[in-house]
Structure 1
Amino acid sequence: MLVHFAAQESVTVPVPRQPIPIEHYLRQPQRLVYAIADPQQVEALGEQVYRLKMRPRNFFSFTIQPVVDMRVWTEASNILRLQSVGCEIRGVPYIDRRFGLDLTGSLQAVRSSRSSSLVGQVALRVEVEVPPPLNMMPQMLVEAAGDSLLSSVLGLIKQQLTRQLITDYQQWVASTTQAQANNSQGNLVWES
């Protein structure tokens, strides 16, 4: 039985005022990767491509560990993009050989006269051939459980993003402004 799961999540994160605009931070996509994932679970594969090892998850009677290769880049318009370019499911070889994943997302700074925020969305779609004995279950039940699993994964990513991204941005601003102060040969003006 071939089933399709899908989930999507949107996020709006208020950005505190800093001497360096958030758009400069977004031009460093590798920082986002390490801010939303445990650095010990991330492996840089090449320019703009990272392998993220998710924590093991239970799906019915199976324990699986998704491993996703992601391309993360910033467009000229300061929109940070991410796209899955490969995946592996560790723990159940049957599922790994019959599994497809598509993850896309974006994050951009939005400014108003009073405040700034980061606005983003992510969509996750999975196609998998369900192994025995799950293939004997009603397809609607399996799809509902799969959709719920994907929603919980995206929810965890959203929590990590809202907690860690602004903290990392503030730390980056502090270290960058300190480095500029130490190299005070010229005044650098940050523009968005």
Structure 2
Amino acid sequence: MISKKQEYQSMESFESLESTEAVLSIASPIADTETASPEKSLGTTTIFYGRYQDSMEMYASADTIAEYLNNHSSWFSRCAEPMKVEPLGENGYALVIGRFGSFGYEVEPKVGLELLPPKDRIYRIRTIPVPNYQAPGYEVDYNSSLQLIEIQQSQFSNNSVEITRVEWELDLKVYINFPRFIQRLPKALVQSTGDRLLNQIVRQVSRRLTRKVQEDFHQSLGIELPANVKKNK
């Protein structure tokens, strides 16, 4: 992100920045498929891009789930913990993802997200500015969609219930102005460590968020999650 010894020491320092402190006590739906594009540079800015998708099952009708999702002010902040969340207007939130840093370079990413009203049971989330906040050396472009698909009825807890699959996709771009000592590292190293960190953050955040939303939704209906769902968390 010389001599063989110096190159190894540089690599070790950058990986420490990524995986030691930046790893996230924020664990969360895991991406079934994910792609990270090759690094692109615009001047001193490096762009990392990932596309992710996954699904989860909810044991209720799509209409019931839609009613829950539409009332996001009652569950979003709670389910996003331990990320810090601040409301932004009627449909927006500012999230602090976690603290990252090492060797005097430290950043605490904050991103504004807007949960758009649904159209045809498709929910979209996009990036919005956070008032009075200037991101120090990075920019996030977040675009996701979530769709509700009723798939079947099943005998569950002695009751016949509907099952709805919640499918989501995420396109994520992160623009980073690295400090000079990282710009001196090999581009291939910067690309591989950046891609790995981006994928790790999405996995952890999505896994925890999926689990918490599933639990919170089913608890609101007084339904216990099936054993196979709990086992797969």
- 1:120 matched residue in structure 2: 168
2:120 match: secondary structure: coil
- 2:67 matched residue in structure 1: 24
Q: Does 1:99 align with 2:142?
A: no
- 2:197 matched residue in structure 1: 149
2:174 match: secondary structure: strand
- 1:161 matched residue in structure 2: 209
- Asked if structure 1 preserves the Cα contact closer than 8 Å seen for 2:123 and 2:146, the reply is yes
- 2:95 matched residue in structure 1: 52
**For this pair of structures, how many residues does the alignment match?**
169
- 2:58 matched residue in structure 1: 15
TM-score (norm 2): 0.63
Q: How does 1:57-68 map to 2 (within 5 A)?
A: 57-58=100-101, 62-68=105-111
- 1:79 matched residue in structure 2: 122
User: Over aligned residues, Cα RMSD in angstroms?
Assistant: 2.8
Percent identity for Structure 1 against Structure 2: 22
CA distance in 2, matches of 1:80, 1:19: 13
2:109 match: secondary structure: strand
Query: Aligned pair in 2 of structure 1 residues 35, 155: CA closer, same or farther (>3 Å)?
Result: farther
- 1:138 matched residue in structure 2: 186
CA distance in 1, matches of 2:66, 2:189: 43
Query: Aligned pair in 2 of structure 1 residues 70, 59: CA closer, same or farther (>3 Å)?
Result: farther
Q: Which amino acid aligns with 1:141?
A: L
Query: Aligned pair in 2 of structure 1 residues 40, 11: CA closer, same or farther (>3 Å)?
Result: closer
Query: Aligned pair in 2 of structure 1 residues 79, 166: CA closer, same or farther (>3 Å)?
Result: same
TM-score (norm 1): 0.75
Shift of 1:18: 6.7
**1:62-121 Cα shifts (integer Å, max 9, x gaps):** 332101111112323222211111369x9xx9xx44422101111121112343211111
Gaps of 5+ in 2: 1-43, 154-162, 223-233
